[in-house]
Amino acid sequence: MQMQIVEANGARIPQVGLGTWELRGDVCTALVKDALKLGYRHIDTAEMYENEAAVGDGIRASGVARNELFVTTKVWYTHFEPAALLMAAKESLAKLKLDHVDLLLLHWPNPSVPLEETIGALNDARARGLTQHIGIANFTVDLVRQAAELSKAPLVTNQIEIHHYLDQSKVMAMCRHFGISLTAYSPVAKGAVMRDPVLQQIAAAHQKSPAQVGLRYLVQQGIVVIPRTSKPERLAENAALFDFALSDAEMQAIGRLASANNRLVNPSWAPAWD
């Protein structure tokens, strides 16, 4: 399996990872194991997903050496006070049965806890060896700026909703100003790509699926993608993105589909979006 690496502030992130949101138990363990056997090296989980133990089981079942893997987990926003954040990070490691993760993220902003305290605790987790790198998720333009300026260690990614229907150009520009990579969740817009006539036409020209075209559109911009699937047969398809390229005209045609209003993930605790 071909795989590209995105470099950001000292981190080397495999550009295609397996998202594990909503995967549980034996299904999650089997998907992680199968993905790693296929050649995936980036696995994304989170405290809130309640599947870190299953992810860890899949990692061990795969037989892939730990030093070949890039494992990401996320601290839930209710655990952003310093002592709670460190405890949450340690509990995640205990569930994963790992001595560290490669990347520890703040899952959502929490205005109830001063960002300076939370970023300080995130840096503390890194200094203690609980994680090699640190980052953020679902941070807006201003929050990215604040977090980057407050952090002693460089932030390596902002994990946000990115797909061809959602214009995220403002926050993407701020991240790139600080050398922070973008990691896209919901990169195929919860399957909407499969029904899009523009992507269907481009896919037919490349003998690829519309989902592969949607993912290629992102990776061609240097974005990390973490598509989730519960179907083993989709694993290879979701990673087969590096044996074709979209033309400038095709990239522009897909780009014209974006709007600031096409957000699919907008929970009650979300920040005021840009």
pLDDT in tens, the chain (274 residues): 789 999 999 999 999 999 999 999 999 999 999 999 999 999 999 999 999 999 999 999 999 999 999 999 999 999 999 999 999 999 999 999 999 999 999 999 999 999 999 999 999 999 999 999 999 999 999 999 999 999 999 999 999 999 999 999 999 999 999 999 999 999 999 999 999 999 999 999 999 999 999 999 999 999 999 999 988 889 999 999 999 999 999 999 999 999 988 999 999 999 999 9
Contacts of 18 (CB under 8 A, 6+ apart): 31, 32, 35, 40, 42, 43, 44, 226, 227, 228, 235
Residue recorded with tokens 């990579």: 181
pLDDT at position 2, please? 84
pLDDT at position 233, please? 87
Dihedral angle computed from the Cα positions of residues 69, 70, 71 and 73, in that order, rounded to the nearest 10 degrees: 180
SS3 188: coil
Residue recorded with tokens 């519960």: 230
Cα distance between residue 121 and residue 32, in whole Å: 29
Query: Residue-wise over 56-91: b if at least 16 C-beta within 10 A, else e?
Result: bbbbeebebeeeebbbbbbbbbbbbbbebbbebbee
Q: What is the pTM of this model?
A: 0.97
Residue 116: C-alpha distances to residues 103, 175, 272 (Å) = 19, 18, 19
The CA radius of gyration of the chain, in Å to the nearest whole number, is 18
pLDDT at position 161, please? 98
> Which active-site residues does the annotation give?
49
Kindly report the number of other CB atoms within 10 A of residue 272's CB atom. 9
Contacts of 95 (CB under 8 A, 6+ apart): 52, 53, 56
User: What are the backbone dihedrals phi and psi of residue 65, each rounded to the nearest 5 degrees, phi first?
Assistant: -65, 140
CA atoms within 13 A of residue 183's CA, in its CB half-sphere: 33
Contacts of 62 (CB under 8 A, 6+ apart): 32, 33, 36, 37
DSSP annotation string for 103-139:
EEEE-S--TTS-HHHHHHHHHHHHHTTSEEEEEEES-
Residue 164 contacts residue 189 (beta carbons within 8 Å): yes
Total residue length of the chain = 274
Which structure tokens are listed for 79?
């655990």
Helix (H) or strand (E) holding 1: none
